[in-house]
Amino acid sequence: MAGGGWVRLPDGSVVVALSLPRPGAAGQRIRFLVHSANRARALTRLRNLGLRAVYLRGNTEPPTPDEISAVLHHPDGLVWRSATPCETDFWRPVAALLRSPAAG
């Protein structure tokens, strides 16, 4: 089950946050942030990366203001990190996840 949520920005776009199982690492979860024109497009961006079973049901874990800032300041508008971050865990571009699923 994916925990997540979304927030609509003043310009009409949305930021979607989802906590999902980490590909290739049993028991680990990662949090994705996606900035897009609408929720459907945000989920499509994740599905196009190979995360096929991505659904947003409810708004139980919306993005925090810090998460919104992180994704808005990233040129791709799509970042991830561990779902249980520590002080040294930074937001990473999704390309880093796709290159090395076991790293991180």
Residue 104 inside a domain? The answer is no
Query: Of 3-17, 24-38, 63-77, which range is least confident?
Result: 24-38
Share of the chain above pLDDT 70, in %: 84
pLDDT the model gives residue 72:
94
pLDDT at 100 over 60: no
Give residue 82's domain range: 3-99
Q: For the chain, how many structural domains are there in total?
A: 1
What residues contact 9, with CB distance under 8 A and at least 6 apart? 15, 68
Q: Could you tell me the two tokens for 84?
A: 């249980």
**pLDDT tens figures, 33-79:** 999 999 999 999 988 888 777 888 889 899 999 999 999 998 889 99
Residue 81 lies in a domain: yes
- H or E segment and range at residue 80: strand 78-82
CA dist., res. 83 & res. 89, Å (int): 10
The rounded distance, in Å, linking the Cα atoms of 19 and 76 is: 19
User: Taking the mean position of all CA atoms in its chain, how far away is CA 7?
Assistant: 13
The pTM for the full model equals: 0.82
